[in-house]
Chains A and B, each alone.
Chain A
């Protein structure tokens, strides 16, 4: 048997498609994309260079060239922006995991996932206010926090599972556009359900203890941000362990890659998909609580923008890739926090502090221009993703 096999180091055949990509003549679209890529990179480089010039000497001509009024950033301001970006980005990362996992197993974007996050935040708001009424919130903050996290994870997981059962499973065999559009409908349903049940006004979490609000000596970071970053990191580590090391996690990855063969192994594909929705919902619920602790205010549309940004994060990181979702979340969070002042202000753009969202989505476009499969995404051969 050994003689028949080629030596293990023998070159493998390049798939015909990849060869075609190299040999194909460049079209006008290719040139356009190349020009666009170069232009974007020049804008980024010039903005960044102007920022550096300005930091070195605010009065040098290059710094003054585009924006005579630029103020630059102090070290403390910069650090503050980065920390806020990481805190917000880690929440995007938590939400992005749900987009990425569902895309992995079912191949469509569940646009209602942002609303699962909103449900988690709302559940946390209701539970924490009840606890505050009972006086437990102040007397035992950590215990209350654990309690609202558990309740919120249960509620948002259930929301995601019911959503799968009612809205997506009946469409399992349908073209992917159909569950995608359905998910937009589910998203509207959940937003409006929240208005019906809780009213359209914005609602707030109870006051957090002083030690959470205060800036701590460690790097001058607010307690809430430390809490958010630590809890998000722990959740991601737990999820990574679950997906990478446990039997269920292996089953999830197997179903994501080839559901038919996974069922041949004896894996219950439907049950695995339900677990994927439950875990994604739990992560979104966790993010909802962190959002409430950090911003203290929730409304029925709370899920929309973070949801879309988390989706962007999942794409930036490479959809279907869990580490990518986390990295994408962090990079979008930091980019939208730092980007306006780092790149845009030195270029003379006015009103930069209102351009966070534009920066977040520009980040998506830039990554897609440069690496369409995302930061960690792999280009799959056509046979795997038809």
Chain B
């Protein structure tokens, strides 16, 4: 992360708890304006409005096939919206390829980490900085990743596939940070992990958020996600049905009925069951 970006983010995150109110007058870092998207005949996103401000930690909740992954794909440019606009830092990027958006500060930690397992940890981190030319800056960011995750430094020469799940998660986040992102997208950080690792993973996310990173997280595990997020949206069959602060969403009885289907015990520790169903 460049010092400039993290400095600005740092000041913003000081009032991160009540982010929604204080950020209203600024332009969002990343925005979706009435976006519709289709997979063939399937209408996957319906008039979705999202706005993510500098320094926020926000989450998008929803069950299986609610359009969460489609939202990420549309933001990154893997899918072109059929109508509406994807706006990155004030610029409409609908027709821009992934590499353009990555170079302008958006990146993603994919679901299930998806490290290059046969490459070494160092190579994984270097690939994160693929589009960058500033070798000094890359070296500095490498050091920054080691500071965040000292365990990663011990594993640099190892193939990524040989690491434990928790270490792989650190490398995945480190690799994303190497592209010098201004906003980090996280796809299902709790997916496919043992409960202890899910806990660790959410701690990693709040850790990088406190270091100044803007995070947009897509998650099924509402309680875990809202526990660390400032704001959140709930997506249901491609439509945003709830849009509120984390506290309000947690207190909202509609959260359970709308997307957890009213199941009583389903809201906590449910990620494992949901995860296998989604895979």
List chain A residues, Cβ under 8 A from B118: 253, 257, 378
- Establish whether residues A264 and B107, one from each chain, have CB atoms under 8 Å apart when the complex forms: yes
User: 1/0 contact trace for B163-201 toward A, CB 8 Å?
Assistant: 010110000000100010000000000000000110110
Asked if A268 CB lies within 8 Å of chain B CBs, one says yes
| A1/B207 contact (C-beta < 8 A), A251-B127, A265-B179 known | yes
Asked if B123 CB lies within 8 Å of chain A CBs, one says yes
- Establish whether residues A5 and B102, one from each chain, have CB atoms under 8 Å apart when the complex forms: no
- Establish whether residues A384 and B196, one from each chain, have CB atoms under 8 Å apart when the complex forms: no
- Establish whether residues B200 and A265, one from each chain, have CB atoms under 8 Å apart when the complex forms: no
- Establish whether residues B197 and A257, one from each chain, have CB atoms under 8 Å apart when the complex forms: no
Asked if B128 CB lies within 8 Å of chain A CBs, one says yes
List chain B residues, Cβ under 8 A from A176: none
Assembled-state Cα–Cα distance A254/B117 (Å): 9
Assembled-state Cα–Cα distance A5/B203 (Å): 11
Asked if B93 CB lies within 8 Å of chain A CBs, one says no
- Establish whether residues A253 and B164, one from each chain, have CB atoms under 8 Å apart when the complex forms: no
* Secondary structure type dominating chain B contacts: helix
Report the contact-size class of chain B (Cβ under 8 Å from the partner): 20 to 34
> Closest residue to B131 on the A side, CB-wise?
A266
- Establish whether residues A264 and B116, one from each chain, have CB atoms under 8 Å apart when the complex forms: no
Asked if A46 CB lies within 8 Å of chain B CBs, one says no
- Establish whether residues B203 and A4, one from each chain, have CB atoms under 8 Å apart when the complex forms: yes
List chain A residues, Cβ under 8 A from B211: none
Name the interface residues of A268-323: CB closer than 8 Å to any CB of B. 268
- Establish whether residues B116 and A266, one from each chain, have CB atoms under 8 Å apart when the complex forms: no
- Establish whether residues A266 and B179, one from each chain, have CB atoms under 8 Å apart when the complex forms: yes
Asked if B96 CB lies within 8 Å of chain A CBs, one says no
Asked if A258 CB lies within 8 Å of chain B CBs, one says yes
- Establish whether residues B99 and A250, one from each chain, have CB atoms under 8 Å apart when the complex forms: no
| A268/B200 contact (C-beta < 8 A), A250-B119, A253-B119, A261-B116 known | no
List chain A residues, Cβ under 8 A from B114: 258, 260-261
Asked if B76 CB lies within 8 Å of chain A CBs, one says yes
Asked if B156 CB lies within 8 Å of chain A CBs, one says no
| A258/B130 contact (C-beta < 8 A), A5-B164, A265-B102 known | no
| A266/B102 contact (C-beta < 8 A), A257-B118, A258-B114 known | yes
- Establish whether residues B119 and A8, one from each chain, have CB atoms under 8 Å apart when the complex forms: no
- Establish whether residues B127 and A265, one from each chain, have CB atoms under 8 Å apart when the complex forms: yes
- Establish whether residues A267 and B119, one from each chain, have CB atoms under 8 Å apart when the complex forms: no
Asked if A263 CB lies within 8 Å of chain B CBs, one says yes
> Closest residue to B175 on the A side, CB-wise?
A265
- Establish whether residues B204 and A1, one from each chain, have CB atoms under 8 Å apart when the complex forms: yes
Asked if B110 CB lies within 8 Å of chain A CBs, one says yes
> Closest residue to B149 on the A side, CB-wise?
A1
Query: Which 6 pairs, one residue from A and one from B, show the smallest C-beta to C-beta distance?
Result: A4-B200, A266-B131, A266-B99, A5-B166, A266-B102, A265-B130
Show the binding face of A for B, using Cβ within 8 Å.
Answer: 1, 4-6, 8, 10, 12, 247, 250-251, 253-254, 257-258, 260-268, 378, 384
A-B contact pairs, 7 of them (CB 8 A): A1-B204, A5-B166, A5-B197, A6-B164, A10-B164, A265-B102, A266-B103
